[in-house]
């Protein structure tokens, strides 16, 4: 669709993956690969939160996936496309059902009840077991300072985004023919009787059926307009 549009002299934006897993910078992600847990993920641009989503997150050997990651991914990819590659990061909350203070108090209370427990044992039952060694710093006795440090890690784990998992893994594309090139009836402003619809247009929505709805609605609108000619 893009090649055709360009050949016809219509301005286009390159297709970019959206609703897609994200690759993270740094190594060692094979150690957390294959875990599903309830969490929340926030996209940060220049350390400023842009969008947060919660639900079942999945860890992979290259980064993170799951519906909440899909929901924030188009903003990450578009920012990376604008070459602000160091500006994009994600913050994961591994214990979204309690505040930082509540989590810290719970860990202190567990330690008080069972002073002999290691940090790993204190976290048992709060997180998937496989995540605990990945998140805990090396040599982390269960003292006051480390309980505070671990609370901070569990609530605010931050990693830079390298890129997305790519078009092959995306459920939809952003990019295509910008709406500014089209009339309200989706006809090209440059070429009469030429219409663009669905994913060929730079419109993409969140998970939830919005992309299929856009494909059907835009096809219906453009088809009706073309039939009126
Ligand atoms: C795995 C997956 C899951 C998804 N889940 C959802 C979901 O749950 N909800 C939702 O809303 N959206 C979902 N989507 C997105 C949604 O399916 C698309 O946004 C929508 O189908 C786009 O419709 P379209 O008509 O623009 O393009 P397409 O559905 O891609 O249709 C384009 C058609 O054109 C044909 N074609 C291509 N080139 C040519 C050519 N040269 N000549 C003739 N024919 C050609 C193709 O074969 C294709 O049949 C999902 C997508 C994927 C990949």
Q: Of the candidates 143, 165, 187, which is a domain's last residue?
A: 165
Residues 80 and 119 reside in one and the same domain:
yes
Q: Whose CA is nearest to atom 20 of ligand 1?
A: 212
Q: What is the pLDDT of residue 86?
A: 77
Residues 82 and 181 reside in one and the same domain:
no
SS (H, E, C) 133-192: HHHCCCCCCCCHHHHHHHHHHHHCEEEEEEEECCHHHCCEEEEEECHHHECCCCEECCCC
Tokens of 42: 């926030």
Residues 128 and 200 reside in one and the same domain:
no
Q: Are 171 and 207 in contact (CB under 8 A)?
A: yes
Contacts of 28 (CB under 8 A, 6+ apart): 134
Residues 113 and 48 reside in one and the same domain:
yes
H/E element holding 50?
strand 48-59
Residues 134 and 177 reside in one and the same domain:
no
Q: Of the candidates 165, 184, 207, which is a domain's last residue?
A: 165
CA angle 128, 92, 125 (to 5 degrees): 20
Residues 130 and 159 reside in one and the same domain:
yes
18 Cα–ligand 1 center, Å = 13
Question: Hey, which residues does 182 pair with through a beta bridge?
Answer: 188
Residues 86 and 183 reside in one and the same domain:
no
Q: Whose CA is nearest to atom 17 of ligand 1?
A: 212
Give the residues surrounding ligand 1 with Cβ less than 6 Å away. 171-172, 198-199, 209-212, 215
Residues 39 and 138 reside in one and the same domain:
yes
Residues 104 and 155 reside in one and the same domain:
yes
Q: What is the residue range of 6's domain?
A: 2-13+171-228
210 Cα–ligand 1 center, Å = 13
Residues 6 and 28 reside in one and the same domain:
no
Residues 175 and 142 reside in one and the same domain:
no
Q: Whose CA is nearest to atom 10 of ligand 1?
A: 209
Total structural domains within the chain: 2
Q: Of the candidates 121, 147, 165, which is a domain's last residue?
A: 165
Tell me 41's DSSP state.
Answer: E
Q: Whose CA is nearest to atom 4 of ligand 1?
A: 171
Q: Are 207 and 67 in contact (CB under 8 A)?
A: yes
Q: For each of the chain's 229 residues, which pLDDT tens digit applies?
A: 899 999 999 999 999 999 999 999 988 898 899 999 999 999 999 999 999 999 999 999 999 999 999 999 999 999 999 877 779 999 999 999 999 999 999 999 999 999 999 999 999 999 999 999 999 988 888 899 999 999 999 999 999 999 999 999 999 999 999 999 999 999 999 999 999 999 999 999 999 999 999 999 999 999 999 998 6
Instruction: Please state, in angstroms and rounded to a whole number, the distance separating the CA atoms of residues 73 and 46.
Output: 16
Contacts of 216 (CB under 8 A, 6+ apart): none
The whole-chain average pLDDT of the chain stands at: 94
175 Cα–ligand 1 center, Å = 14
Q: Whose CA is nearest to atom 41 of ligand 1?
A: 1
Tokens of 197: 């619809």
CA dist 25 → 6, 22, 132, 164 (Å): 34, 10, 20, 11
Q: What is the pLDDT of residue 229?
A: 63
Q: Are 164 and 171 in contact (CB under 8 A)?
A: no
H/E element holding 223?
helix 210-228
Q: What is the pLDDT of residue 27?
A: 83
Residues 206 and 186 reside in one and the same domain:
yes
């Amino acid at each position: 669709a893009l090649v055709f549009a360009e050949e016809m002299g219509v301005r286009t934006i390159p297709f970019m993956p959206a609703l897609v897993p994200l690759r993270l910078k740094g190594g060692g992600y094979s150690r957390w690969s294959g875990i599903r847990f309830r969490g929340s993920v926030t996209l940060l641009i220049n350390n400023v939160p842009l969008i947060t989503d919660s639900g079942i997150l999945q860890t992979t050997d290259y980064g993170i996936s799951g519906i909440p990651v899909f929901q924030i991914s188009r903003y990450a990819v578009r920012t990376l496309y604008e070459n602000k590659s160091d500006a994009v990061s994600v913050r994961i909350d591994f214990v979204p059902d309690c505040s930082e203070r509540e989590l810290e108090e719970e860990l202190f209370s567990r330690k008080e009840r069972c002073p002999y427990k290691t940090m790993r044992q204190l976290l048992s039952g709060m997180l998937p077991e496989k995540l605990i060694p990945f998140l805990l710093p090396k040599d982390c006795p269960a003292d006051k300072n480390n309980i505070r440090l671990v609370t901070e890690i569990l609530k605010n784990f931050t990693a830079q985004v390298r890129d997305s998992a790519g078009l092959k893994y995306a459920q939809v594309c952003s990019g295509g023919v910008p709406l500014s090139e089209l009339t309200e009836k989706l006809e090209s402003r440059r070429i009469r009787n030429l219409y663009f619809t669905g994913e060929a247009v730079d419109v993409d929505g969140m998970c939830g059926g919005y992309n299929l709805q856009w494909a059907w609605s835009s096809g219906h609108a453009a088809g009706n307009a073309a039939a009126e000619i």
